[in-house]
Each structure stands twice: as C-alpha cells, then as structure tokens.
Amino acid sequence: MTAPSVLSVSQLNTYIKSIIDGDMNLANIFVCGEISNFTDHYRTGHFYFTLKDKDSSVRAVMFRTANQRLKFRPENGMNVIARGRISVFERDGQYQLYIDDMQPDGLGALNFAFEQLKNKLAAEGLFDQNRKKAIPKYPERIGVITSPTGAAIQDIINVLSRRFPLARIIRCPVQVQGTSAAPQIVDAIQRFNAGSYADVLIVGRGGGSLEELWAFNEESVARAVSGSKIPVISAVGHETDFTICDFVADLRAPTPSAAAELATPEIFEQKSYITAMRYRCGKSVQDEIRHQRERLSRLQASPGLTSPVMVIESYRQRLDGYLSSMQACLDMKISGGRNTLAVLSSKLDTLSPLKVLGRGYALAYCSGTLLHDAAAVEPGSDIEVKLEKGKLFCSVKSVEKQN
Amino acid sequence: MKKQTYEESIKKLEDIVKTLEEGSKPLEETLKLFEEGTKLAVFCSSCLDNAEQRIIELSSLESGENADAE
C-alpha cells in the first residue's frame, strides 16, 4: 500500500482479515471469560456467544464439529477458558474468537459435565429407588458387558465360577474407554434386551482415571441402563469411583468382583439351604404323622373302642327295660280283666235263680215254660216244680186266679 | 415339556416347605408334598453338584449357534 487509494468495504475487511490471520500470536490463544448471549443455532448446531469480563467483551463462535466434543453444555454466566484463534467475519467486519475447545474455569470440564448430567438425570427421576428392578436371586444367565482383555472380566468369571457355576456367563466384549466405548456399551445393553438373553447384566470395567471411566458417565449409557428391562448391576472402577452409570443402575457394585458376588448366591450356602429345607419337609411330615397318631390314639382310648361289652351291656339294659315295661303293661291289662270278671261274676251270681231256690222259693214250669200267672194253667194240668234240691211232678187241683 | 430350572425348582421347594409347615393339608397330601419336595431338593442339589461354568458369547446366542440357548 504505497499510494492512498479508495478501498471497498470488502477489500478492507479482507485485508484486515489477512493481517489478523497472519499473526501467529492470535492463531492459538487461550482466553478466559464469562459466557453471555449464548445461542445454540437450531439449524446448524453452531454455538454463538459473547465472552466478557468486567470491562470488555469479544464475540465468539464454536462450530458444531468442535462443540460436539464438549462434555458439558455451556450456559450464560459460566466462566470458561476457551482455546482457539482470532479471525474476522468479513461480512460484518467483526473479529471473533473461533473456539476449538473449551472448559469450565475452576472445575475440570469432566467434573463439571458429570455434575450437570447427574443433576439433569436426577431431576428426571432416573435415580429414584422405585425405578430400581430387583436382582434375581438365582440367575441362570448372567450377561457381562466389559472389555474382553481387562482384569474385570477375569475377576467376574472367577467369582461366578466359585460362587454359582450353575449360571451361564454370556460375554459381550466392548471397548470401555475412548470414543467408541459409550456407543458399544449402549449397543450391547440393547442387544441383550432385544432377545432377553440374560437374567441380569453386569456392566463395568476396572479402575482408571476419570477420563478412562468417562464412557460410564455418558448420557447415552445412562439412558440405556435405565431403559434396560433386564436388571443391571453397575461395576465401574474401584470402591471410591462413582459414575452416572452407578446411579442409574439397579444395583451399584463397588468393583467388578463385587458385582459378580451381588449377582449370585453362594453355592455352599445354597447347598445347606436345600439341606435345611429337606429337613424341614421331613420334620413337617413327622409332625403331621405324630399329630395323626395322637388323634388316632385319642379315638382308640374312647370308651366305645376300649370295651365293646359295656356298650352291648348298655344296649341289653335298655332292651330289658323295654321288655319289663312291656310285661308290666301286659300284667296290668290281665289283672284289670280279672277284676272286671270277678265283679261281673259276683253280679251274675247274685242274679242266679238257684240262689233264690236256696232261700226256699220254687219255680213252676208248664210244658217247659216258667209259670208267672196261675191263669196260665187249667185245673188238671201237669206242672213241674223245681226246688233247691230236686223236682216235683204235680197235677193242678184247682186254680185261683189273681186279677 | 419345558426344562426344569434351578430357580423354579427352589421356589417350588420353598412353597412346599411353607405349606407343609402350615400343617393344613390332609395326611395323604402331606405325604405327596413331602415326596415332591424331596425330589425337588435332590434335583436342586444335583444342579449345584453338576454345575460347570459355561461361558458363551452374546453374538453366538444372537446367531442361534448355541444349541442349548433356549
């Protein structure tokens, strides 16, 4: 630019841009500040915002390809350290910070992301106790989603073989760190669910740094775990490591070995349990038999069964009773009859004509007919006179009639 | 007939023990239950005694290669 000349706005902006782009000091810089006016462009997915401090501000943009790698979600008011370059947006003549990477100032980005996701899922109720599915007591098929090469798979197999060899182990090898870890874990959980291939799933890995354990803090993994119909035991890292996966899982195991223990009963305990139940079965039957025996002996001790003679005697007594009352009835009838007969006989006796003859009276018959009236005979008739003792055959001399 | 599983068997055994201990069944049924309970206990024990850890891959179940994969 030796002589003054008139530039178009575009020429000016292009020139400024070339100067700024050419300054190596601005090609890779770290800038700290507070995010404001944050917009997540709904169509392109690019982030646009302003970074500011107490006194000034600078426009910033983070393209989708870069912001997809962020573990946390930027928010207004958040203090961040951004890494990027300065360039010019020629259309507006505006210089901007083009951000490649960014992390929260203060906390590490991962810690920050962890807290954010934890709060989000907690608010959705994904950690609620009432969402937790029961771990089956006697699983037949245990799905194990972990690295095929890590110590975790060996620990799990060792514990399962010792405790409950009855269960079949179904392995699904996945990467447990790096960018493909989360999608592989999600896929494995979904594949197990698709065919109901297991009764319980153990998802996990051995210990590592927060970065190495990160897949288990991914939202996609958390959602796959909480969406699993098969109960999930989370077993990530060591006792002190907590991951989002631990919170959404139906059961958290402090280590992979512990997960295997939590998933299964102990075979020796099972054996003694079965023995105990067998004993209880037998005892119940013995109790029942004793009970029935007591019932039987109570019945046997009843008088009816102890002396049948007595029972017969009592029947006999009753029978005798009936007989004697029958007899009494009969006797009464007979003696009543006798009395009546005696009365009637004495009455008859008093009426007997022979008794009258005994007192000196006589009976006179004519031709066999008892005479009551003297007029019934004529003088000269033959009559018969009966006395108390003997008879007289007489001829009537005369008749004295009585009117 | 469906294969008898350890879990089903031990649950049935638990139910039988419970019924027996309630003592509410007639003697004939008690004896029948006892017989069944004993069989289940023997079955469960033999499951445990004969168990050998089997390890298979999910992919083999998915492709139906594994014959005893129900």
Residue A67 in contact with residue A41, Cβ under 8 Å? no
Identify the pLDDT of residue A387. 86
d(CA A331, CA A298): 47
SS3 assignment for chain A: CCCCCCCCHHHHHHHHHHHHHHCHHHCCEEEEEEEEEEEECCCCCCEEEEEECCCCEEEEEECHHHHCCCCCCCCCCCEEEEEEEEEEECCCCEEEEEEEEEEECCCCHHHHHHHHHHHHHHHHCCCCHHHCCCCCCCCCEEEEEECCCCHHHHHHHHHHHHHCCCCEEEEEECCCCCCCHHHHHHHHHHHHHHCCCCCEEEEEECCCCCCCCHHHHCHHHHHHHHHCCCCEEEEECCCCCCCHHHHHCCEECCCHHHHHHHHCCCHHHHHHHHHHHHHHHHHHHHHHHHHHHHHHHHHHCCHHHHCHHHHHHHHHHHHHHHHHHHHHHHHHHHHHHHHHHHHHHHHHHHHCHHHHHHCCCCEEEECCEECCCHHHCCCCCEEEEECCCCEEEEECCCCCCCC
d(CA A94, CA A157): 61
Q: Based on the fold, state whether residues A204 and A160 are members of the same structural domain.
A: yes
Q: How far apart are the CA of A271 and the nearest CA of chain B, in angstroms?
A: 6
Q: Based on the fold, state whether residues A189 and A277 are members of the same structural domain.
A: no
Q: What is the CATH number of the domain that holds A37?
A: 2.40.50.140
Q: Give the residue among B37, B15, B49 at the shortest CA–CA distance from A267.
A: B49
Q: Show which residues on chain B lie within 8 Å of chain A, measured between beta carbons.
A: 5-7, 10, 13-14, 16-17, 20-21, 23, 27, 30-31, 33-34, 37-38, 41, 44-45, 47-48, 51-59, 61-62, 69
Termini Cα distance of chain B: 12
pLDDT digits (tens, 9 = 90+) for A221-259: 999 999 999 999 999 988 777 899 999 999 999 999 999
Last residue of a domain, one of A230, A265, A300: A265
d(CA A65, CA A46): 8
Residue A60 in contact with residue A50, Cβ under 8 Å? yes
Of residues B67 and A273, more confidence is placed in A273
pLDDT band at A64 (very low <50, low <70, confident <90, very high): very high
Q: Flag whether A126 is in a domain.
A: no
Q: What is the residue range of A256's domain?
A: 139-265
The answer to whether the CB atoms of A165 and B51 lie below 8 A apart is: yes
Point out the residue among B14, B38, B58 whose CB comes nearest to the CB of A197: B58
**Which percentage of chain A shows pLDDT scores above 90?**
39
Identify the pLDDT of residue A185. 96
pLDDT band at B67 (very low <50, low <70, confident <90, very high): very low
The answer to whether the CB atoms of A143 and B58 lie below 8 A apart is: yes
The answer to whether the CB atoms of B6 and A140 lie below 8 A apart is: yes
Q: Based on the fold, state whether residues A254 and A296 are members of the same structural domain.
A: no
Q: Based on the fold, state whether residues A66 and A178 are members of the same structural domain.
A: no
Q: Flag whether A127 is in a domain.
A: no
Q: Based on the fold, state whether residues A73 and A158 are members of the same structural domain.
A: no
> What are the φ/ψ torsions at residue B56 (nearest 5 degrees)?
-130, 170
Mean pLDDT of all residues belonging to chain A:
88
Identify the pLDDT of residue A109. 66
Q: Based on the fold, state whether residues A146 and A260 are members of the same structural domain.
A: yes
Largest pairwise CA distance in chain B = 52
Residue A225 in contact with residue A243, Cβ under 8 Å? no
Query: Most A CBs within 10 Å: which of B20, B45, B70, as the mutation test of the A interface?
Result: B20
Q: Flag whether A180 is in a domain.
A: yes
pLDDT band at A203 (very low <50, low <70, confident <90, very high): very high
pLDDT at B70 over 50: no
Which positions in chain B touch A275 (Cβ < 8 Å)? 41
Q: Based on the fold, state whether residues A184 and A227 are members of the same structural domain.
A: yes
Q: How far apart are the CA of B1 and the nearest CA of chain A, in angstroms?
A: 18
How many structural domains is chain A composed of?
4
pLDDT digits (tens, 9 = 90+) for A6-61: 889 999 999 999 999 999 989 999 999 999 999 888 888 899 999 998 889 999 99
Q: Based on the fold, state whether residues A207 and A145 are members of the same structural domain.
A: yes
Residue A237 in contact with residue A207, Cβ under 8 Å? yes
Total-model pTM: 0.57
Q: Flag whether A29 is in a domain.
A: yes
Establish if A277 touches chain B: CB-CB under 8 angstroms: yes
d(CA B5, CA B22): 26
Q: How far apart are the CA of B69 and the nearest CA of chain A, in angstroms?
A: 9
Q: What is the CATH number of the domain that holds A243?
A: 3.40.50.960
Q: Flag whether A217 is in a domain.
A: yes
Mean pLDDT, range A122-148, rounded to an integer: 92
